[in-house]
Structure 1
Amino acid sequence: MKLRLQIIILFLFAGGASTNILAQTLNSSYFLEGATFRHQLNPAFMGQRNYISIPLLGNVNVGTSSNVGLTDFIYKYNDPESKHDLTTFMSSSVSREEFLGNLKTNNQINTSFGLTILSAGFYGCGGFNTIELGVKSNTSVNLPYELFNFMKTGMDQEVYHIKNFAANSNNYVELALGHAHEINDRLTIGAKLKFLVGGANVDTKIDQMDVELTGDKWQAMANGTINTAVGGGYYKTKVENPGEISGYDVDKAGPAGYGAGIDLGVTYRIGDNFILSASVLDLGFINWKNSLKGATRNNEPFTFDGFNNIAVDPEEGDPNSVDEQFENMKDDLEDMTKFYDEGKVNRTTTLASTVNFGAEYLFFNDKMSLGALATTHINKPYTWSQAMASLNIRPARWLDASVNYSYSTFGPNLGWMLNIHPKGFTFFVGSDRMITNVTPQYIPTNNFNTNICFGFNITFGRCRN
Structure 2
Amino acid sequence: MIFNKYIRAVIVFATLLYGVNLSAQSPLSTYYLECLPQVNISNPAMMPRANTYISIPSVYAGIHTDLAAEDLLQKQNGQWVTPIDKSFNYDDLYTSIGKSSALSSEISIAPIGFGFRTGERGYFTFSFAEKISARINIASDFFEIADKGLPVNTTLDLSRTGEKLMAYKEISLGYAHKIDEKLTVGIHVKPLFGQVASLSEIDNFVIKTGLEEYTLNVKGNIYASAPLEVEEGEDGFADNVEFQDLEDSEYNSKYGSGFKNSGIAFDLGGVYAYSDKIVFSAALNNLGFIKWKEDLHSQSFSGEYKFTGADVGVLTLDSIGEMFENEMDSITDVLQGETGNKKFSTGLTPSLYIGGQYKVNHAVSLGLLSRSTFEKYNFRQEFNLSANFNPYSFVTASINYNKEINGSSAIGLALALKGGPIQFYIVADHIPFKYHTIEDDGTSYPAPLHMESFSLMTGINFVFGAKGFKNKSMIAHR
TM interval, short-chain normalised: 0.7 to 0.9
1:347 corresponds to 2:349: no
Residue type of the alignment partner of 1:176: S
SS in 1 for 2:40: helix
For 1:14 and 1:91, the matched residues in 2 are separated by 32
For 2:180 and 2:216, the matched residues in 1 are separated by 64
- 1:426 maps to what in 2? 423
For 1:410 and 1:435, the matched residues in 2 are separated by 16
1:144 corresponds to 2:139: yes
Can you list the C-alpha shifts for 1:250-303, whole angstroms capped at 9, x where unaligned?
A: 466535611122222221222211112122222222111043222222234578
Percent of aligned pairs with the same amino acid:
22
Of residues 75, 100, 114 in structure 2, which corresponds to 1:120?
114
Can you list the C-alpha shifts for 1:11-35, whole angstroms capped at 9, x where unaligned?
A: xx99978x3xxx4321111111112
1:377 corresponds to 2:379: no
Q: TM-score, normalised by structure 1?
A: 0.78
- 1:67 maps to what in 2? 66
- 2:357 maps to what in 1? 360
- 2:289 maps to what in 1? 285
1:354 and 1:375 in contact (8 A); partners too: yes
2:169 and 2:195 in contact (8 A); partners too: yes
For 1:438 and 1:14, the matched residues in 2 are separated by 38
SS in 1 for 2:149: helix
SS in 1 for 2:29: helix
2:282 and 2:352 in contact (8 A); partners too: yes
Q: Which moved more, 1:288-297 or 1:339-348?
A: 339-348
- 1:320 maps to what in 2? none
For 2:212 and 2:454, the matched residues in 1 are separated by 42
Q: Which moved more, 1:297-306 or 1:346-355?
A: 297-306
SS in 2 for 1:40: helix
1:273 corresponds to 2:277: yes
For 1:136 and 1:42, the matched residues in 2 are separated by 19
Distance 1:333 1:102, change over 3 A: farther
For 2:82 and 2:413, the matched residues in 1 are separated by 33
- 2:28 maps to what in 1? 27
2:84 and 2:316 in contact (8 A); partners too: no
For 1:298 and 1:214, the matched residues in 2 are separated by 18
2:33 and 2:398 in contact (8 A); partners too: yes
Can you list the C-alpha shifts for 1:56-96, whole angstroms capped at 9, x where unaligned?
A: 3x2x22121122212333567999xxxxx977422446466
**How many equivalent pairs are there?**
428
Distance 1:244 1:310, change over 3 A: farther
Q: Which moved more, 1:129-138 or 1:119-128?
A: 119-128
Residue type of the alignment partner of 1:24: Q
SS in 2 for 1:32: coil
For 1:77 and 1:16, the matched residues in 2 are separated by 36
For 1:223 and 1:361, the matched residues in 2 are separated by 52
Residue type of the alignment partner of 1:113: I
Of residues 374, 377, 382 in structure 2, which corresponds to 1:386?
382
SS in 2 for 1:411: coil
Distance 1:216 1:293, change over 3 A: same
Unpaired runs of 5+ residues, structure 2, are 1-12, 440-445, 469-473
- The answer to which structure has the higher helix fraction is 2
For 1:333 and 1:181, the matched residues in 2 are separated by 63
For 1:384 and 1:205, the matched residues in 2 are separated by 21
2:229 and 2:243 in contact (8 A); partners too: yes
Q: Which moved more, 1:369-378 or 1:123-132?
A: 123-132
- 1:315 maps to what in 2? none
Distance 1:159 1:169, change over 3 A: same
For 1:185 and 1:241, the matched residues in 2 are separated by 68
Residue 444 of structure 1 and its aligned partner are, at CA, apart by 3.2
For 2:267 and 2:161, the matched residues in 1 are separated by 31
Distance 1:220 1:370, change over 3 A: same
Distance 1:24 1:155, change over 3 A: closer
1:34 and 1:421 in contact (8 A); partners too: no
Can you list the C-alpha shifts for 1:95-147, whole angstroms capped at 9, x where unaligned?
A: 66676676533222221222212112223365322221102222222222211
SS in 1 for 2:450: coil
Can you list the C-alpha shifts for 1:292-335, whole angstroms capped at 9, x where unaligned?
A: 222222234578989999999xxxxxxxxxxxx89x89x96996
For 2:308 and 2:398, the matched residues in 1 are separated by 55
For 2:309 and 2:128, the matched residues in 1 are separated by 47
- 2:180 maps to what in 1? 184
Of residues 224, 233, 239 in structure 1, which corresponds to 2:228?
233
Residue type of the alignment partner of 2:114: A
Matches of residues 299-378 of structure 1 in structure 2 within 5 Å?
A: 299-301=304-306, 340-363=337-360, 365-378=361-374
Distance 1:172 1:76, change over 3 A: same
Of residues 35, 55, 60 in structure 2, which corresponds to 1:53?
55
Distance 1:153 1:27, change over 3 A: same
Q: Which moved more, 1:179-188 or 1:129-138?
A: 179-188
Distance 1:165 1:173, change over 3 A: same
SS in 2 for 1:149: helix
Residue type of the alignment partner of 2:144: N
Can you list the C-alpha shifts for 1:349-404, whole angstroms capped at 9, x where unaligned?
A: 333222222211111x2332111112222332233222222222346633222222
Distance 1:95 1:347, change over 3 A: closer
Can you list the C-alpha shifts for 1:137-192, whole angstroms capped at 9, x where unaligned?
A: 22222222211111343255574412321222232110111122223333222222
SS in 1 for 2:113: strand
Residue 409 of structure 1 and its aligned partner are, at CA, apart by 4.3
1:285 and 1:349 in contact (8 A); partners too: yes
1:154 corresponds to 2:149: yes
For 1:98 and 1:374, the matched residues in 2 are separated by 27
Residue 43 of structure 1 and its aligned partner are, at CA, apart by 1.2
1:258 and 1:287 in contact (8 A); partners too: yes
2:55 and 2:114 in contact (8 A); partners too: yes
Distance 1:435 1:304, change over 3 A: farther
SS in 2 for 1:150: helix
1:104 corresponds to 2:98: yes
For 2:154 and 2:84, the matched residues in 1 are separated by 19
Residue 248 of structure 1 and its aligned partner are, at CA, apart by 5.5
* Root-mean-square deviation over aligned CA pairs: 4.0
